[in-house]
Structure formats: C-alpha cells, structure tokens
Chain A
Amino acid sequence: MPDGLAKAPPFEDLIAAARARAGSGRLADLNARAGARYAEAGWPHARTESWKYTNLNALAAGAFALAEAGSAAVPEDKILGFDAPRVVLVNGILAPELSNLDTLPDGVSLTGLSHAGVTEHAVLESLLSEQSSTDGLPLAALNAATLSDALILDIAPGATPAVPVHVVSLTATENAATAPRLLIRAGADSFADVVESHVSAGAEVYFSNVVSQVTVAKGARLGHYRLQNEAAGAFHIALTSAEVAEGAVYDNFVLSIGARLARNEIRGEITGPRVEYRINGAYMAFGRQHLDNTTFIDHAAAGSRSREVYKGVLAGASRGVFQGKILVRPDAQQTDGFQMNRAMLMSDRAEIDSKPELEIYADDVRCSHGATVGELEEDHLFYLQARGIDRDTARRLLVSAYIDEAIDEIYAEPVREAMKRAAESWLARNLSGDAA
C-alpha cells in the first residue's frame, strides 16, 4: 500500500472510462483487475528508487482522454525506413486497412482483440497469464487497465521469416492517452526480427503508455528493435519485459529521439544456460527533453551472457538518465555480463544521471560495467578542421561515429542501416550551430 502521504494516483478517470467502455466480459475483467493492481502499486513518488531521476509530475498533471480507433496517414519520414510488411496501430488499436496483414511472412501470425475472426477468449487468456510479470509496475498496470486492444505476434517454432515485421504505432488524436500492448512469442528454434516505430500522426501532446511482452523459446533467435520518435510534446512510457530460454538469443535495440519525456524500461529474465541476451541503445536529446533508460537483467540461470551498450548525446538543456541493473543469482555461476554506458554532453545546460548497478550472489562470474561521461575530444575536432572540415560538420561527424558504434550492435542489417539514417537525420536537424 502506498504511504498515507500519497495523494490518490492520477488517471483514475481514464480507468473509469475504460471500464465503462468495456462493459462486461473478459476485457472488462482484465481492465478491472489491472486497475486494482495499479491502485495497490501506487504512483511513483520522489523517493521511489527506480524513478529517482525521472519526475512524473508533468505527466500526472496532464488532461488526457481515452481515444478511439482512427485513421491516419503513416508519416513515412518519421518511422524507420526499410522494406517490410506492416502492422499499424492507431491510438493503440489495430488499423487493418493501414496494415499488410495478408502479406505477413511465413511462420508469423497475428492475433488481436479487435481483429475480426479471432476468439476474444483465447487472446485474453494469453494476456492474463502473461501479465503477472509486469503488473507490479504501476505504469504497466495502468496500460492493462486502460487498453481496449492487444496484439499477439506469434513466430512458429522453427520458422525463419525472410523479412522483419514492422509494427508502426501512431497517435492521431490530440491529448490521447493510449495503451499499445504487444505480445511477441518466438517459438523454439525460430529466427525472426520484429521492429517497432512509435511516432505521431498529427497529435502534438499525448500520453503513450506501451507494454511489450516478449518470450523467446529454447534455441530461438529474436531481434527486437524500436524507434521512439514521438512528438515534442508527448509523454512516452514504455516497458519491455523479456523472458529468454536456454540457448536462445535476444537482440534488442532502442533508439530514443522523440517525446518531451520518455522512459525506455527493459526488464529481462534469463531462464536457461547458453543464452545471449543483448540490450543496446542510443538516446539523443535536445531542448528540454528528458530521456530515461532503465534496464534490469536477471541472470536466473547459470552459463549465460548478457551485453548492454548504451550511448547518449545530450544537447541544449536536456536530461538523460541511465539506470542499468544486473542481478546474478546464487546459482548463476559462469555468468558473463558486460555493461557500458557512455554519455556525451553537448552544452553546459545538459545533464546526465547514471546508475549502473551490480548485485552478485555467485562467485564464479565475470561481470563488468563501465560508465563514462564526457564531451568530444578537442584533438579529434581539430584534426578534422585541419583537414578543411568546418567545426559544425566535424562535430556531427564525430558524434555520428560515436552513436554508430552503439547502432553497430544490431544484428539485423537492414534495421541497422535504417537506425543509422534516423540518427543521421536527427544530427542534421539538431546539432547544427548548437554551441557547447
């Protein structure tokens, strides 16, 4: 129970509206149970350790309303640009007419709450059994309490789809509060990539509360990549929770460049040996943006590897947060964990808060983490200038190379290239003439 000092948590009106909309039946049950968990978990306050560096007062004060399904044009210049069949969500609800549901690659199937021809029962049962791992977290509980649609992306065991699936999540309604909910299940020994782009299709101010739950079965290989490029006035809170089984590979990358305030939270559990768990990312902010990356890796089994490389560029008066925790349980011997966070401050009004955390209970492990904060090397800048390159261009080149190192961690090649282009165009727009 939250302490007596806390006010009632915000967004009770949204939860009530969701219950009214759902009426009765299994969706209503799901919303109601999540609503109770939300109240129990309590809204993060100043002394909630996990939210120490990210203040949610502005979000809590916002006047948002649930949004219905809508139509919108996909803003091609904002999403990740590469060739792949799309699954489009508008305001968190599947928009079949904007999607390529008939051309999804072999081995990939999509089930959704609102999609015609699917038993609501089966989907909800799946959701209910999967949601226990995420509902202790208030924002994830809020998502389950307000959603009206959810997508399950199944990759059949042994399937090797030739192209990635691109989930495009659009917010089209001003002041919308949306709850995109995605379940990705990679079957045993499958090999697939799922990409998410989160952007605005016209709205300026909104609240997008995303939950992606991922299970990677034995021996499977799943690439899971996201571009967060929300509107400048938007709030984007995202939780990805991944469970990775023996011998599987989970390759995750998040590029965060949009939103007024965004939180990229990834919680992973390694449940078997010989897992390769990779969560890498880059975050680029300017103006008064606040970008928070909070990760938690639970080595619950022996003999697995994790790797985390996050790089940030903070210009203007922006603020970056990196909290990376690695837990190695007592029986997780032979764990090999590597974590590196680097942040570059481009101005004297920018700030970085970094908390790389290790909690180790097994004695035969190799765990290292490092964090560096700094600026561009004057030597490097001068070298480029001495070769005739002007200072602005030199800065962009160096920062680009710095960010590309993180993007290079991505296994899937077309996605890697698309991410680099997205980072490039951010730099071209936001790093010109930004004095240090």
Chain B
Amino acid sequence: MAITNNAQQADTGTKMIHLGKNTRSTIISKGISAGRADNTYRGLVKVMPKAEGARNFTQCDSLLIGDKCGAHTVPYIESRNPSARVEHEATTSKISDDQLFYCMQRGLSAEDAVGVIVNGFCKEVMKNLPMEFAVEAQKLIGISLEGSVG
C-alpha cells in the first residue's frame, strides 16, 4: 500500500522470484495519490527455469484523489518456465463525487469520508494485517491524506 499526497513522489515496489517447484505468490498493490503527488509502483515477478508449476497473481490498483496527481504502474514480468502461470491486472479509479456526498450526508466530514473510502479501497490488503498494524495503518491513512479534499 503506498500513499502520496501534496507534492510527494514515491517509487516503491516488490520483487518476487520463483525458484522452486509449485511455488505460489500473490501481490496486491494499492496505490493512492492525492494533491499533486505521483505514485509509482514498480514490481518484478521473475520465474526461473526450474520453477515448475509456479503461480503468481499480481493486482495493481490505483486510486487518484483530485485531478492533479498521477499514478504509474510498471510491472516487469519475466518468465523462463512454460508451466508457470503469471497473471497481472491493473485498474485505475477515483473517488466519485457521489460517494463523497453520500458519506457527507451521513455526517462524515469530507476528510473522514476520504479516509473511509480509502480504507475500503485498501481492505483487501488491510484484512491480512495483524490487528495492531491494521489499526495503526488506518490512522496513518487519515494523517497522510490530510488536506487532500476541499
């Protein structure tokens, strides 16, 4: 999960190298850009020749908040084993005005609304974190996105 706001520039990513037989990996990247920030996800999935039956699934989702930020996903997929199955998907979305208004009409301030929606966006990743981390992460999301709306 990577969050950028204001004028931050982030270039973060993952490296997954499959060496042995029947190995499985899943990468879920959630990138959130706000303000005038740029968020780049750079990921490498490499399947070596002996990695018989390797399986990888990578999901890169970007959320753009506002129209002055950018999201950049650069996945490198290198496979040298024919029985490996490597899949990659990427989507881009934004927080719709309708969603923001709905949350505000239910009493949430604009910033709280963004926090709630972003947490929903990151749910897939957050639900796999131990509880203490998840709580911290939620707080950090709120702090990172301060000033991103309005």
Q: Is the CB of A363 within 8 A of B77?
A: no
B contact residues around A343 at 8 Å (CB): 79
| B94 on interface, CB distance cutoff 8 Å | yes
Name the prevailing secondary structure of the A interface residues: strand
Given A367-B92, A368-B91, A375-B82, A359-B77 contact (CB < 8 Å) = no
Determine the residue in chain B with the shortest Cβ distance to A325.
B74
Closest-CB distance, A362 to chain B (whole angstroms)? 6
Q: Is the CB of B90 within 8 A of A370?
A: yes
Q: Is the CB of A356 within 8 A of B65?
A: no
Q: Is the CB of A359 within 8 A of B70?
A: yes
A346-376 CB mask vs B (1 if < 8 Å, else 0) is: 1111111111111111111111111111110
| B136 on interface, CB distance cutoff 8 Å | no
A contact residues around B82 at 8 Å (CB): 344-348, 350, 374-375, 436
Q: Is the CB of B79 within 8 A of A358?
A: no
Q: Is the CB of A362 within 8 A of B75?
A: no
Closest-CB distance, A252 to chain B (whole angstroms)? 22
B contact residues around A374 at 8 Å (CB): 82, 84-86
Q: Is the CB of A357 within 8 A of B92?
A: no
Name the prevailing secondary structure of the B interface residues: strand
The answer, among B74, B80, B81, B87, for a CB contact under 8 Å with A355, is: B74
Q: Is the CB of A370 within 8 A of B78?
A: no
| A330 on interface, CB distance cutoff 8 Å | yes
B35-49 CB mask vs A (1 if < 8 Å, else 0) is: 000000000000101
The answer, among B65, B72, B79, for a CB contact under 8 Å with A351, is: B79
A contact residues around B71 at 8 Å (CB): 358-360
CA distance A333 to B92 in the complex (A): 12
A370-407 CB mask vs B (1 if < 8 Å, else 0) is: 11111100000000000000000000000000000000
CA distance A354 to B80 in the complex (A): 12
Q: Is the CB of B86 within 8 A of A358?
A: no
What is the size category of the interface that chain A forms with chain B? 35 or more
The answer, among A346, A353, A360, for a CB contact under 8 Å with B64, is: A360
Closest-CB distance, A359 to chain B (whole angstroms)? 4
Q: Is the CB of B78 within 8 A of A351?
A: yes
Q: Is the CB of A372 within 8 A of B85?
A: yes
Closest-CB distance, B120 to chain A (whole angstroms)? 17
Q: Is the CB of B79 within 8 A of A345?
A: yes
Q: Is the CB of A357 within 8 A of B77?
A: no
Given A357-B72, A358-B73, A363-B65, A345-B81 contact (CB < 8 Å) = yes
Closest-CB distance, A370 to chain B (whole angstroms)? 5
Determine the residue in chain A with the shortest Cβ distance to B60.
A358
B contact residues around A346 at 8 Å (CB): 82
The answer, among A349, A351, A360, A371, for a CB contact under 8 Å with B62, is: A360
Closest-CB distance, B97 to chain A (whole angstroms)? 10
Q: Is the CB of A352 within 8 A of B78?
A: yes
CA distance A436 to B79 in the complex (A): 15
Determine the residue in chain B with the shortest Cβ distance to A329.
B70
Q: Is the CB of A359 within 8 A of B72?
A: yes
Determine the residue in chain A with the shortest Cβ distance to B65.
A363
Closest-CB distance, A342 to chain B (whole angstroms)? 10
Given A346-B82, A373-B84, A375-B82, A358-B77 contact (CB < 8 Å) = no
The answer, among A330, A357, A370, for a CB contact under 8 Å with B89, is: A370
Given A358-B71, A375-B83, A369-B90 contact (CB < 8 Å) = yes
Given A330-B67, A360-B70, A355-B92 contact (CB < 8 Å) = no
Determine the residue in chain A with the shortest Cβ distance to B55.
A374
B contact residues around A344 at 8 Å (CB): 82
A contact residues around B84 at 8 Å (CB): 345, 373-374
Q: Is the CB of A371 within 8 A of B72?
A: no
Q: Is the CB of A373 within 8 A of B85?
A: yes
Closest-CB distance, A17 to chain B (whole angstroms)? 39
B contact residues around A364 at 8 Å (CB): 67, 94
| B68 on interface, CB distance cutoff 8 Å | yes
Determine the residue in chain B with the shortest Cβ distance to A359.
B72
Q: Is the CB of B75 within 8 A of A371?
A: yes
Q: Is the CB of B88 within 8 A of A372?
A: yes
Q: Is the CB of A348 within 8 A of B49?
A: yes
Q: Is the CB of B80 within 8 A of A351?
A: yes
Using a CB–CB cutoff of 8 Å, the interface residues on chain A facing chain B are: 330, 333, 343-375, 436
- A sample of 9 more A-B contacts (CB under 8 A), given A345-B81, A357-B73, is A343-B79, A348-B81, A352-B79, A358-B71, A358-B92, A362-B64, A367-B92, A371-B87, A375-B83
Question: Could you jot down 7 A-B contacts, CB within 8 Å?
Answer: A345-B79, A348-B80, A351-B78, A353-B76, A355-B74, A363-B65, A369-B88
A-B complex: 3 closest residue pairs judged by Cβ atoms: A345-B82, A363-B94, A363-B64
Using a CB–CB cutoff of 8 Å, the interface residues on chain B facing chain A are: 47, 49, 60, 62, 64-92, 94
